[in-house]
Amino acid sequence: MPGLTEYIILGALLFALGLVGFLSRRNLIVMFLSTEVMFQGVVINAAAFARFHHHVEGQAFGLFLLVIAAVEAGLALGMAVLLFRRRGTLDAEAWAGMRG
Amino acid sequence: MTLNVAHWLYIVFALGAVGLYLLLPRRKSQGNRVGLALGALAVAALLVVPALRIGAPGGHNGYFCLFSAIALLASARVVTHTKPVYSALYFVLAVIAVACLLVLLEAEFLAVALIIIYAGAILVTYLFVIMLAQQSGAPIYDRTAREPLLAVAAGFALMAGISSQAAEQHASSRATPVVATAVGSVATPGIPTGNTATLGTVLMTRYVVATELAAVLLLISMVGAIALSKKQVPPEEPIPAPPLGLAGREVQPF
């Protein structure tokens, strides 16, 4: 069966895909969808460590990750709605003035 | 051996990075098919090692290849599609593939929770917001990417670093196989054993504080989301004008 390394590389690939999306897309909603893709990679990693180290704690961490993802999605979408009401666009570049 | 696993992985990741760069939305959207073909080629090259062992006994190599390919390609489309609705739907596909991989990893509860929470709750919220904030046609910010070359380079660097470490670990663990020890699953009489039961036992004993904290965190985020996005309801009766000198002191959020 596929070993731990295969699952780690798969999880890292999902994380990297999400990272590329978060860095390069301009739509706020797609940016947050990319963070959810990153979460998928991390959940795979946690479950793979749980499986290959015969330890259930990885799955517990996976569940907490789901909680964090739900919290993040709720707040991020609330913020996206707020920002959309302010500027009438979902473009992240519209808020470039907040750059320090 | 000059060409070891790490070098081969670098080549595959470079191929995938070029495909992803071509797939990212740009002003002139050519190279879309080339990018998709390159990405599919990279995924196929990545999965060739597990695929060679499909016939091997005691494995789910075929299922692993299938679901990994679906997850990777769907995730690539999530980050590259120009229409947010399609991105969200591809994300559902990726979530389902990841849930299948979790079933392969014997994390059944986590897999079902993933489908219910992601595909059932989070995605509906995303789609709702996308529909709410939809603009006519494809706006310019969906059709152009911001610094795609640098972003893809950052992703490639991350993957190269992780995979070199993972390949090193892989080689060393081949030499000395890790002896697995069961620590978390102490069988207690009267308590049903099994993956989900063990998970519940651990959550309710060792991580009970963390579980409570997670519940509080969810509550806080619910309050925060409501406070962020609540609409200013106009009052029933007209508010009397504030006395002179106080007008404009309080700035309403909307």
Residue of B nearest to A8 (CA): B166
% residues pLDDT > 70 (chain B): 75
| Both tokens assigned to B65 | 């290849």
Smallest CA-to-CA distance from B210 within A40, A52, A62 is with A62
Burial per residue of B140-166, b for 16 or more beta-carbon CB atoms within 10 angstroms, e otherwise: ebbbbbeebeebbebbbebbbebbeeb
> Which sequence spans correspond to the domains of chain B?
5-174, 184-230
- pLDDT for B212 equals 95
In a domain, A99, yes or no: no
Residues B117, A70: C-beta atoms closer than 8 Å:
yes
Q: What is the pTM of this model?
A: 0.84
A100 located within any domain: no
| The predicted structure's pLDDT at residue B182 | 44
B5-174, CATH topology level: Four Helix Bundle (Hemerythrin (Met), subunit A) (1.20.120)
Specify the CATH number for the domain of residue A50: 1.10.287.3510
pLDDT in tens, A83-92: 888 777 888 8
Q: Kindly give, in sequence order, each residue whose CB lies less than 8 Å from that of residue A96, ignoring residues fewer than 6 positions away.
A: none
B155:A77 CB<8 A: no
Rounded to a whole number, what is the distance in Å from the CA of B138 to chain A's nearest CA? 11
ipTM: 0.93
Q: Give me the number of domains chain A comprises.
A: 1
Report pLDDT for B185: 46
Contact (CB<8Å) A40/B199:
no
From the list A7, A15, A27, the residue facing B141 with the nearest CB is A27
Sort out which chain A residues have CB atoms less than 8 A from B147's CB and list them: 23-24
Domain span including residue A31: 4-89
Residue A96 falls within a domain, yes or no? no
Residue A97 lies in a domain: no
pLDDT (tens digit, 9 = 90+) per residue, B61-102? 888 889 999 999 999 999 988 888 899 999 999 999 999 999
Contact B114 A43 (CB under 8 A): yes
